[in-house]
Structure 1
Amino acid sequence: MKVILCLALVAVSYALPSAKYHPLSDEFIDAINSKQSSWTAGRNFHVNTSVEMLRGLVGLKPTPVRTFPVRGHLVSPRETIPDFFDAREQWPDCPSIKEIRDQADCGSCWAFGAVEAMSDRICIHSKGAKKVSVSAEDLLSCCTNCGDGCDGGYLEPSWKYWVKHGITTGGLYGESEGCKAYSLVPCAHHVEDSARPACSGDPGTPACVKQCDDNTRSYESELTFGRADSLYYVPDDAKQIQVEIMTNGPVEAAFMVHEDFLHYKSGVYVNVEGKELGGHAIKILGWGEEEGLPYWLVANSWNSDWGDEGYFKILRGVDHVGIESDVVSALPKLLAVRDNAVL
């Protein structure tokens, strides 16, 4: 009964009008906290951060026409889904699952959500034998059908590109492991961070260069691929998404960002204030329940100093702000795995 009452309150709060305050003002943060108790809002962005830069962080474009099939799981009525699940704990030997990336001031969330889930699934399906970070830089700069680079992209083409062309390896800015590290410098859009340069808000999409940062590595030999027979949407049903994550690993998903989300610090996020900023792609890696509210555990790509060390929880089970409507994924293309080695 407690959960039902909470969900009813959420439905009411979600219909509230947009805030009359500046989206980065202390008054706006106070208004958020006064209207709900499921999550805590606080300052993540400097008050002088431009709204244009904030809009640039949510770079997901709506898919014009869906081409992937919807593929669900046969779920027995007796099948037990745990109350709590965290992919970091389920697959502790896969370091990519624990990694929070930083898209800098580029609207590349569509690429980050994809390569994060791809990296996790390569490790999971190779039984930990192949641990790589799939390069956000390679996908962002070289997939011409994915959208407009730092000005936003789509969900489906990223996964198609992985299947058809492959995406090489590469991790965070400045990392030497892998082929192509992210080349955009992490910038100080977070209020506590003074060590990074100020965000420009218009970094420009990096040029597509199909070679590794280290010329002793081969771009082609570092390519990872998805299976052509495994491109699919997960049904917009919470249980189906849970079974998908338990079976195959974290997924890329999308939701509509409102201005109050910028200030998330802890708790289970529900939208109560602010205008829409745009669509945002992220990685769902688990779920649970807090204070009677079911939630998804999600990794963002705004660095680990945003939110709850880079993560956030969001209401689960009612497709809140569209979080369950666009869950897309695929399986990695791997050779046989034997004795903990990829053959």
Structure 2
Amino acid sequence: MEQNQQQPATTMKDVAEKAGVSTATVSRALMNPEKVSAATRQKVERAVVAVGYAPHGLSRNGRRGETQTILIIVPDICDPFFSEIIRGVEVTAAQEGYLVLIGDCAHQNQQEKTFMNMMLARQVDGMVLLGSQLPFDASVDEQRNLPPMVMANEFAPEMALPTVHIDNLTASFEAVNHLLQLGHTQIACIAGPETMPLCQYRLQGYLQAMRRSGLAIDPTYIVRGNFTFEAGVAALKQLLALPQPPRALFCHSDIIALGAIKQAKRMGLRVPEDLSVVGFADIELSRYCEPPLTTVTQPRYQIGREAMLLLLDELQGRRVNNGSRLLDAELAVRGSTAPCKKREK
């Protein structure tokens, strides 16, 4: 009578040896990923895939094939905007017994194969996508085999995914309209990357508000950058070098706005007396800068929570319609905007 030779289960020690770290580090990377560096977390995640490790309590359920693990794909883990969305996902997932892994797309070239392997090997039950693109190239056949996915924050109709986001166009329109109501007409826009759908909607909101007020669009008043402090600094340098510099700014993110405010002060301008500035997101720093930033408040925690609830519906076999679920955004008026002191020409 033949005996079945069963392969011994891989252990956390196997993962640690593969990753070149301690077992304690492996444990932290899996259970509290925010407590380790992105580089360490990536090494551990790759090692988990390589050795086929499934933690006790997170191993596949024999009947349903579940790992009780969710993967969040973040465009840039260093951007503070995403922290509250991630927290909304994590808290909601934990309430249902799910572990959350975080994948950072800022280093997509190194991570692409890891993400693809995790999804195709069903080492995660589902994915929450915080950007507008998949973090890997997948053929049509491969996409059919991927676990359920939802999108949070962005809106990309061509991907046909359940989506939770705000109305970026309307929120931007109202932000620019606030500056117009203060008497400003020389309003510049520091925009984010053209490839991001939300940036396209925010730019449309700016353009519509200006046109609705009968103002001509000055293309030199629209400067693009990425969502960084340095982009705000560089954009304001460019704008202030114009023959007729703007007197107000609408920025596609708070971080861009904070960079612009810093540069304005370096160049001897007062905010808001000489330059009114509006941001977008309402990250925590925006409330504590000087002056506090007027900005569009996004319900970031709620976006994460609602996205995870949609994913849970899918995982539990409930029908989820592809399309968008809109949440409300508001303009928080603070000290970085003020009435235009004199009539502009």
Instruction: Select the structure that is richer in helix.
Output: 2
Fold shared by both chains (TM-score > 0.5): no
> What TM-score results when the alignment is normalised by the length of structure 1?
0.27
Bigger relative contact order, structure 1 or 2 (CA pairs below 8 A, ≥6 apart): 1
TM-score normalized by structure 2? 0.27
